[in-house]
Structures are given as structure tokens and as C-alpha cells.
Amino acid sequence: MRRRHFLRNAATLTAGFHIATDLMARPKGPVYGHNGMLYTLDTRWSKADPLKNPVNDCHEMVQDVRGNIYLLTNETKNNILVFNRSGKLLRTWGHDFPGGHGLSLADENGEQFLFITDTAKHQVYKATLDGRILLTIDAPIGPGLYKEAKEFVPTETAVDSNGDIYIADGYGQQHVLVYDAKGNLKHHFGGRGEGDKHLDNAHGICIDRRGGTPTLLVTDRTRNCFKRFSLSGELLGIIRIPGACVCRPVIRGGHIYAAVLRSPVIGNERSGFVTILDKDDRVVSNIGGTEPVYADGQLKPLAQAEKILVHPHDVMVDRDEDLYVAQWASGKVYPYKFNRKA
């Protein structure tokens, strides 16, 4: 009995020690956000040495099945930096993406691959997790599309379960281009122009499977909204987020997360924050932004409220619902981590 009592007490003390250690390790300080989606800020999450592994613009981040985090920067000394969740730098690769911008992760037959867009080289790449290039997609030159390669400035990709690749030409002609798994162009939609079916700064794209039937969410950043399309390109609806120049939508669980590069208009520098939408596509929390208020079913314009972010460009959400925010033109800082409060 005494031995069991001792072991039980030892286990309790050990568990308490680990909980206390974890609580001590998690940053304390101001709490950001709204409506129960609250976070504390850790600006020193990355343990990388900026003299050895510098970053320029930190554009986007993804996490693989092992929990490793991949950061894409347009610094060609190390385009891809791979971290563990504690911020330890595990490895780097890539010296050939001067316009490295979009980074997405795709599953294929039990293996994961990266898709990279390069706005300077006007190309899209499929790569292994260790950097071997498997597929390169060039500008689709032809009638009704592109006269020359420099018109094609891809910013993001999304990959369907059948291997179809959706490319958002967010800095070019604003098309969404659909390719098969081998890189053959199937069709396109969107494009620059007036009217809801057209796009202006189609910066990001993702496949939304929350409703059963997959749809595409495409950023229309200048117009402060996401547009929902069928996979064949039919406009299904618009999620308006007034005052928020949103980057790509990132779906985790029932929520949409997005970096807001600037607010309330694209010309207002150093005015970014992060926004979170619920399963009904309503904004429920803003990290560094004003509290979301709806009147008569319409969201009141949002704006930066706290100077904790400069130009956030992407949000990554881990399995604990902690957030990692990569920033563009923000002093070459590594990503910040926002720890979810229980």
C-alpha cells in the first residue's frame, strides 16, 4: 500500500511539474483577440540565427504530418527554413526562388509535397519536402491568356485530392488557372475586370471542404473579400470583410484564418492584423484588430487596433490551435507565434 501511495504521489508531482514547466515556458503578457479566441504573443519563437540564416520577406508557412514547419522566404541564401514547433531550425534548402511567394502542401498517395510560386521567375513548382523539383509550370502563352511570361505572376496554389492544381495569378492577370496533376492546363476563370466574377489582387486560394461539397475560396484583396467558387469556376458567393486587405484563407477545423496585410485600405502602411472567421463565415476575432461588430447582418469596417504586427502575410495554425504569422516588409523578422489561451 505504501509503495502504491508513493507511486501515485510521485506521478502526481511529476505531472504537476510538467504542467508548471509548460506554463512557465508559454509567454505571459497582453492577451489579443475576441470572443474566446484569445492569444498571447511570442516574438522570439524562432531560434534561428539571422546572421547565418537570414530572411527577407517571410511569405508563407505550412506544417507537415510530422509537425515540422516550413517557412518560405524570398531570401535566396535559404529560401526554405524548416523548424520544429519549438522554433528550433532543423534544416534549410533552396537558393533559386528570388520571388518565392506562395507555399502550399499537398498529399499524394501517402506522401506530402510542396507547391511554390515564384513571382520573379513567373513559375510554379512542385517539390519534395527536401527540395527536389518534380514539376515546373510556366506561363500559359496563348489566345485569351498571356502574350508573354512576365504577365503571369502566380501568388498561390491549392491542390485537390485528384491532383488538380489551382493557381491564383494574384499579381498578374488575375486568372485562376486549373491544371491536371501532370501540369496540363484544363481551364481558367476569374480574370481582371469589373463585376463579382472577376478578381483584383487574387492573392490567395484554398479548397474549402467544411460544407461537404468542396468549393474554392479565392482572395480578392483590394476589394476586401473572399469569393467562393465551385471547382469548375462558378461564382457561389462573397464573404465581405470591409477594411481588411486579406491574404490567403487558411482553414483549420471550422474556422478560416487570414493575415490582413493592411487596413482599412491597401495604401495604409504598417496597419496589419489577423482575422478569424467561424463556420458561418462571420468574423469572430481579430488579433491586433478592432473588435468585430455586426449591424443588420453587415460587418462594420475593421482596422488595426494594436501595433503588434506590421505587414502580416500568412497564418499557420498548428494542432494546438496556436498561430504562426509570417510578415512581409516588416524588418526581416522571423515569424511570430500566438499561443492560444485555454
What is the number of H-type helices and E-type strands within the chain?
1, 28
The reply to whether 12 falls in a domain is no
What is the rounded CA–CA span in Å between residue 111 and residue 19? 35
Full domain range(s) for residue 115: 30-340
The reply to whether 16 falls in a domain is no
pTM attached to this predicted model: 0.92
The reply to whether 36 falls in a domain is yes
* Selection from 308, 313, 331, 314 nearest residue 39 by Cα: 308
Angle at 256 (CA atoms; ends 253, 260), nearest 5 degrees = 150
**151 DSSP 8-state letter:** G
What is the rounded CA–CA span in Å between residue 31 and residue 64? 28
Residue type, 209: R
* Selection from 81, 85, 88 nearest residue 67 by Cα: 85
The reply to whether 9 falls in a domain is no
Q: The domain spanning residue 78 has which CATH number?
A: 2.120.10.30
What is the rounded CA–CA span in Å between residue 167 and residue 171? 12
* Selection from 59, 47, 43 nearest residue 94 by Cα: 59
The reply to whether 5 falls in a domain is no
The reply to whether 104 falls in a domain is yes
CB crowding 154-193: b at 16 or more within 10 Å, else e: bbbbbbbeeeebbbbbbbbbbbbbbbeeeeeeeebbbbee
Count how many domains the chain has.
1
* Per-residue tens of pLDDT for the chain, all 342 residues: 433 443 444 444 444 444 344 444 555 789 999 999 999 999 999 999 999 999 999 999 999 999 999 999 999 999 999 999 999 999 999 999 999 999 999 999 999 999 999 999 999 999 999 999 999 999 999 988 999 999 999 999 999 999 999 999 999 999 999 999 999 999 999 999 999 999 999 999 999 999 989 999 999 999 999 999 999 999 999 999 999 999 999 999 999 999 999 999 999 999 999 999 999 999 999 999 999 999 999 999 999 999 999 999 999 999 999 999 999 999 999 999 999 998
**18 DSSP 8-state letter:** H
The reply to whether 19 falls in a domain is no
The reply to whether 249 falls in a domain is yes
